Structure 1
Amino acid sequence: KNAKIAVGVFYKPPKIPYACLEKVFDSLLHIHTKYEHTIFLGDFNINMLEKESLEVKALNNFIIEPFDLTQLIKEPTRITQHSRTLIDLILV
C-alpha cells in the first residue's frame, strides 16, 4: 500500500524554553493533516525520565497526545558519570 509518511527532525537547544513547543504544535498540525503517518525524531533536550517535570508535561500536551504519538526510546540516551537522561526521542 502506498502511504504518505512525514518524517520530521527536531532540535531544541538546551537554553530554549519548553514553551516553544506550542509553536511547534502549529507546524505539526499543518503537516499531520496532509500525511497518513508522522515520524518525529531528534534531540528535544527534555528529559523524558522526569515524568512529572513541566517540560515533559508540555511535550505530552502539545506534541505527543494531540497527535496520538508514541515515544519509542525507553532507555537513557545521554549518560555521564553524574546523570542519565532520555533527551533523544523517536515519536511515531
Structure 2
Amino acid sequence: MSAAAIAPFLAVSMLAGATQGGARTGGMRTLLARTGPADRAGLLSTVFLFYSSAAILSLVAGRLTTTFSLMKIARRLRRLVLIGVARVLVIARPA
C-alpha cells in the first residue's frame, strides 16, 4: 500500500466499522425485543456461533492467500455463500 493510500484506507475502515457496529446493535436490539428473558441466552449463543463461523472462514481465507489469488478465493466464497443461501431458502420455505 502506498503512503498516499493509508489515510483514505483508514478513513474508510473506520466508516465501515461504525456502519457494521450500528447494524449489529440494531439487529441485536430487534432480536432481543422479540425474545423473552428465558430465551435470550439461547438466541445470543446462536448469534455468536454464526459470528464465530464467519471469523473461522475469514482466517481460512487469509491462509489460502499464500496459495491462491484473492480473486479466486473471493469467487469460491461467493459460490459457497450462494449455495448456502439457496439451501436456506429451500429449507425455510413455508409449508
Normalising by structure 1, what TM-score?
A: 0.29
Name the larger-Rg structure: 2
Structure with the higher fraction of residues in strand conformation: 1
Structure with the higher fraction of residues in helix conformation: 2
Normalising by structure 2, what TM-score?
A: 0.28
RCO higher in 1 or 2 (8 Å CA, sep ≥ 6)?
Answer: 1
